[in-house]
Chain A
């Protein structure tokens, strides 16, 4: 039986973590490789790097980070942010990532999903979706609209329709981020998570809103997600991955407890 996955997400800019991360001990706070290694050793099931680098030079630095991570961390990890061509995907995968995550680029150019799936296999292609709760309308029957550019640009696309579409195009996974819940620490947006998870046959990763391990439990039970993305809850040291997993296990969720 598959375990539900707990996936810390690290934001990286020009090869450095953008948020301070509080660990005890002598950890260079700005180093994504060292931070990823710590999460790996603490039992993270996967790691997501979100590269918010804008410059060409920064992109090169990010590939070096990916290479370093791949030589020290032996769990799957994905890289997202700014990937907009098959060539970008290839560079990241060759550097050692298992998966690449595309978001805005997939909305603007959906064939990128199928091209990526064809070139590298569906299992490599994670489509990130940012969604915003809106009034139900003819155009947006699910009541959730796809937005891009970090939530700044509504696209007039229904979230459920888009989820089915990315599955049809060959995505291997959907990472569903609720803009409403993101950063609130009040829990994941369970309505749209379960609606999408019940209507596609690819895994859905819940993202946005985690503030307590109960939220992860809810995401994988009520929300029907296969995995839960976490960030500040672990970055600021309120909870550790082993504590989170212990909590989830005590609530009857199957998680990986030996690593």
Chain B
């Protein structure tokens, strides 16, 4: 069972729909016991870091996520969930979870693309990921696969936590993590088959370690 953390931050149901389609048991929940007894946790998010953090704290979910990490439960952060695992966000100067060292930055409007045009913000659309370290989430996913991004801020973790990068005006970290905690800036639940494969890889990993 995957626990999808419910903290009133955007469209949780799209993650649920993708897991349902893959026949992966899942539940949208904010109950600490359910979360800490799950095989794996997905931490999604759309919206602003500030309000997301206050919702997490209000529901005590910040502590639950730290506890889950300490208990080595596999965690996958998605989109805002990939930013909020860091220590601080430039978005409303918010102190965030601090599960991974680093901060979340805003795309500068002065950045230009390879044609010399100013980039649009948010970064919205399909883009590729270049892996910098081995990552089981990408098992059996073609290197040319693209993923769907929608964001104005991007994760900037310490270097050894950078698993993959994407180019948009600059090269930013789009996949980060360590041990059993991963986070992706794109939306796997909206990235067609490669995205579904990534979710499947995450669940299969969680099942393997549970059975090991």
Contact = CB atoms under 8 A, between A and B. Distances in A.
A71 B168 CA distance: 30
B125 interface: yes
A176 interface: no
Given A1-B114, A74-B21, A258 B124 contact: no
Given A74-B195, A74-B196, A259-B192, A1 B120 contact: no
A159 B109 CA distance: 24
B124 A173 contact: yes
B191 A2 contact: no
Contact of B167 (A1, A227, A258): A1
B144 A258 contact: yes
B46 A121 contact: yes
Chain A at the B interface: SS class: loop
Interface centre among B46, B109, B124, B189 (most CB of A within 10 A): B124
Given A93-B11, A123-B122, A172-B122, A259 B47 contact: no
Interface residues of A, number: 31
A2 B125 contact: yes
A184 to B, nearest CB: 27
Contacts of A123: 122, 124, 150
Interface of A: 1-3, 5, 40, 45, 70-72, 74-76, 93-94, 96, 98, 121-123, 172-173, 201-203, 224, 226-227, 256-259
Interface of B: 10-11, 13-14, 17-18, 20-21, 46-47, 109, 113-114, 117-118, 120-128, 142, 144-146, 148, 150, 167-168, 189-196
10 A-B pairs closest in CB distance: A3-B126, A258-B145, A259-B192, A256-B126, A2-B125, A256-B146, A258-B144, A123-B150, A258-B142, A71-B17
